[in-house]
Amino acid sequence: MNELSDLARVRDEELAGRASGAGARALLASVTATDPADLLDPATVPGAGRGRLRTRPMVVGTLAAAALAAAIVIGPSFVDTGSGPATSYANSAIEIERRGGSWIAKVRDPFADHALYGEAFRAVGVDLDMELVPVTPDRVGEIVQFGGQDTNDKAIGGGAEPEGCTIGQEGCFMVVSVEEGFTGHGTLKFGRPARPGEVYQSHGPATRKGGMLAGVRVDERPVREVLAEVRRRGLKAVFQIIEPNPGGDGYGMNPARQSEKVGGDWIVWEAEAHQEGVVRLLVSEKRVAKNPVYGGPKPRQDTSE
């Protein structure tokens, strides 16, 4: 069985029911010890006067008083071991649980403020900042960038839960795993689905299998020929003008040149996914001996449709 399938679920509506800290427990004791009739008087309700509280006549018993205390305790949920960091944590963006020697983090809101992800990891003793960035559909759920130090060679991975599901479909979630013992500080960029019109932050070749130009050879061809194929597929193109180094070993990019008009006889060196329905063509005005993107011929890849 996939260990991720056993990950405990903590939902927003359940968070209000977790009274975990000393203050919350004291509040619970206070409310359950109050005469039910007194609860109708706002002056006797903890916190009254800091906001509006509407009441109506009701019969308040022990269970109802406990429910009221639970409703007042709202916010992140965690399991307090009494010593050391929590063993699990959840907020509106992410939930984390220790499983089989790893911290398993399930993304609940891929569009949340990334500070909420870091808050959750630090609550369980892991100093890891995570940001979810828009990527091409084939890279959703992948780690697209990682930086860190003093990590004791602990593995960090990404994927989907349940295993093998398609992220974006109902019941399929993005999951990050971090081996216990991770130390130091880490920064992680994790691929999420792009909103309509959002530019991808991880650019892969558009010609590989599943890409917008799958099955098309674009490198070392004139711009006019590649644009004809782009339009035939109902796509749009933007340009990035590059300046090959002498001999074609690498290239530079001058921001001041990006508004120049690109001629049909310019040379295309690569096509990348820019955003949904749009490819970015890396072009230069002159042909050079080597493909500057690769320092030689473009490596072979699966370009089938």
**pLDDT, tens digit (0-9, with 9 covering 90-100), for 217-260:** 999 999 999 999 999 999 999 999 999 998 778 999 999 999 99
**Domain residue ranges in the chain:** 17-72, 82-193, 203-305
**How far apart, in Å, are the Cα atoms of 121 and each of 100, 188, 248?**
17, 12, 44
Across the range 109-132, mean pLDDT stands at 95
pLDDT at 246: 83
178: number of Cβ within 10 Å: 23
DSSP 150-186: --TT--EEEEEESTT--BTBTT-EEEEEEETT--S-E
Task: Please tell me what DSSP assigns to residue 147.
Answer: E
Average pLDDT value for the chain: 78
**How far apart, in Å, are the Cα atoms of 221 and each of 191, 211, 280?**
31, 19, 15
**pLDDT, tens digit (0-9, with 9 covering 90-100), for 186-228:** 999 999 999 999 999 988 899 988 899 998 999 999 999 999 9
* Contact present, 298 and 292 (Cβ < 8 Å): no
